[in-house]
Structure 1
């Protein structure tokens, strides 16, 4: 397939700088991606980082004390002093948007610390945290599942922001512990996928947590206590799980091997009966899918009104699918961009009117590629008013600290991002609906959960350390941030 460079833009975002970026329609498939070589190299690099931390004793979560204070620790003068005088427990926070650094804007809000529990105190033997997802009960109680290499810890987030440990769901018994564990919610259930062979996707009913006495935390069975278990993966492993709750299905993405029938693409899972998950088919046509967001389309592109659409983040492309028919592949568009290194994840800015999405590339900072040449995290902005011709309209370079961006979600014009060693960052992206270039986007606040790199020349490290994922959807405004080394934090915006 012939590559076509569609357009070039000159954009100013945050601190004044100029950057030329290009989008590429229907890019030629590159063997280094289709073969899995890029993904394999990234996983090797991650493992090397974590093994070095393990050797240095930094993966022992017991060295990070759980918080025992009664109340929150407010962000004052740019830091939250959880343990005053202990640099390893003083966390940078507050607002530090690019505009503020130039002295032209005032703080909109701060992000305060409410609680922290180590992986050990959350019942894990291995530690090594990854993703997290929550569930709010009909009575408004907030429960969180916290992924670790050996399973998922369960806790309730109290009205005061305290993590109350309730127990855990171990990994599926036939699988080995592994850090790659992704959790997503479907109604009152969570779905747990893993990169471990033989694991499958565990389906667990979160209502089982409601009556647990925290004095007696309960360890569930990794198989017998499941509502359902999806086993139709080639070797039982998947990189991620995606859910379309409105249409009662999930998707396993990145299920290796790549030469299987579904080519590590979109494997659909019917959740009409969570106790008996089945698969109506898969979309293998663009090969490996790393992450996706699947939604009923509501937006200005009339040709797709009401269709079932998946926005796929496919290593080197944004690939948009019409998945209304789940027994085949219907690709609407494939688009790459200048400097694409590892198209990782993204989120539409408004699920009820899908005109823009934000996208992160997990390796452009590592490769110093394209917009990531300065190794500061980049958020790319895409105009998706035409699903057949999405347009890369701009990007935001966050110069708080050099780091790698990972996962992000958008709620009411605010993007919440896990940026590895730089922690949780919050961007105001509300202006994208009127100015898609991103010139009006700014950083609204942050909470840096990894003080180990604060004194480096650019305030951070371009490494796979710190926070993997977070959950920002609780009605209370509490945000749970899961970290690789330490455990889980609870933070909250002061204006939430």
Structure 2
């Protein structure tokens, strides 16, 4: 059983190589236009009508535009994040790719402009992750000796033709990482999914981002084991014992680990909690009141079966976390990354695209799917295809979907 689990973890977060590439032959609804930068974008602006936006199943969300992987000169998509220029309020998508990171101006979301690409620091990898702090992007990968690429996003201002970008810096203290997590309130980054053979046993490294002239690694934590993903917050939730503390919530393969990381030299475990039928504890996000933590297990659907399962933990007492509720979705697809904005939970659900779930009444264990957009219309089975990530945080209401097979989709709630 342990051997089987290791194999499943190895293939997770990647494309099923035997599956159909939806972009290879199907161009229904495609309207290629040349934008001001001279690049070609796939312009749809297709409303969701009678359950479809063109060929894509949907409910309540319109397709604004689509850039397929050929536009990025890449074979696979992965993670994504966003940046809003504080000077111009222009919105940009940072698109993770097997061979680099693409930068897309979505200030006109029906006509996105590919501004260029930052190539991978070493070799291609299906695993790449990007986060933003102030005006800098930080890119990690599981590519050998990749390090952390630092990119000044203000360089995107005024770009008129697609560029081949280089990093401003590469930080090499941590050679590989599955993910990077940033707490924007403290200015610290947390590198997770690192080598199991390092000093923190695959746990988390702490990186101070507050001085871009002199980045400093200031500690780490490994007592909870390998951290695949995490959220880190300044805590103002219901547990008064930890008000104002910086709290790390780690998705650590078989459990949720809660750590006080306020003192970077002396982090300490607050608590750990596991749950029934765990297969691979993957990623989670606090609700807006920091009481409920919404967690996904990436391998339970494929190894155990059943509909997409989302776990809700009650963290009103951080010392005593409790599994509060299990929500089951409408398909058998595997859940991946999920984020909370207001009373909505946005879930990248691999072959089922993205699902939008109302969590306004979590206290009474009520969760209901109110919309979706399926960027992978082929099927909704348990393969590692389709929506890797969803970014719902743009003020404009535009939502970015990074799809393993299909590239970048821009959608918006139907009016």
Q: Same fold (TM over 0.5)?
A: yes
**1:217 correspondence with 2:162:** yes
* Match 2:367 to one of 441, 447, 461: 441
* Match 1:385 to one of 313, 316, 325: 316
What residue number does 2:376 align with? 450
Q: Are the equivalent residues in 2 in contact too, given 1:229–1:275 (CA < 8 A)? A: no
* Match 2:250 to one of 308, 312, 316: 312
SS in 1 for 2:378: helix
What residue number does 1:282 align with? 220
**1:405 correspondence with 2:329:** no
Compare CA radii of gyration and give the structure with the larger one. Answer: 1
Where in structure 2 are there 5+ consecutive unaligned residues? 33-41
What residue number does 2:392 align with? 472
SS in 1 for 2:247: strand
Cα offset for 1:254? 1.1
What residue number does 1:116 align with? 66
SS in 1 for 2:290: coil
- Structure 1 residues 423 and 45: alpha-carbon distance in aligned structure 2, compared to 1, 3 A threshold: closer
Of Structure 1 and Structure 2, the greater helix share is in 1
SS in 2 for 1:381: strand
Question: Structure 1: how far apart are the matches of 2:197 and 2:396?
Answer: 45
Q: Are the equivalent residues in 2 in contact too, given 1:262–1:282 (CA < 8 A)? A: yes
Q: Are the equivalent residues in 2 in contact too, given 1:356–1:384 (CA < 8 A)? A: yes
* Match 1:367 to one of 291, 303, 323: 303
Where in structure 1 are there 5+ consecutive unaligned residues? 1-30, 82-89, 95-109, 454-459
Cα offset for 1:205? 1.2
Question: Structure 1: how far apart are the matches of 2:5 and 2:157?
Answer: 43
Q: Aligned-pair RMSD on alpha carbons?
A: 1.9
**1:243 correspondence with 2:182:** yes
Cα offset for 1:394? 0.6
**1:128 correspondence with 2:94:** no
What residue number does 1:162 align with? 111
Question: Structure 2: how far apart are the matches of 1:479 and 1:197?
Answer: 32
What residue number does 1:21 align with? none
TM-score for the superposition, normalised by structure 2: 0.93
> 1:371-396, CA deviations, whole angstroms, 9 ceiling, x for partnerless residues?
xx42x111111111100111111121
Regions of 4+ moved over 3 Å: 36-41, 44-47, 61-67
* Match 1:394 to one of 310, 325, 328: 325
Cα offset for 1:246? 0.9
SS in 1 for 2:16: helix
Cα offset for 1:326? 1.5
Question: Structure 1: how far apart are the matches of 2:310 and 2:239?
Answer: 24
Q: Are the equivalent residues in 2 in contact too, given 1:346–1:359 (CA < 8 A)? A: yes
Cα offset for 1:469? 0.8
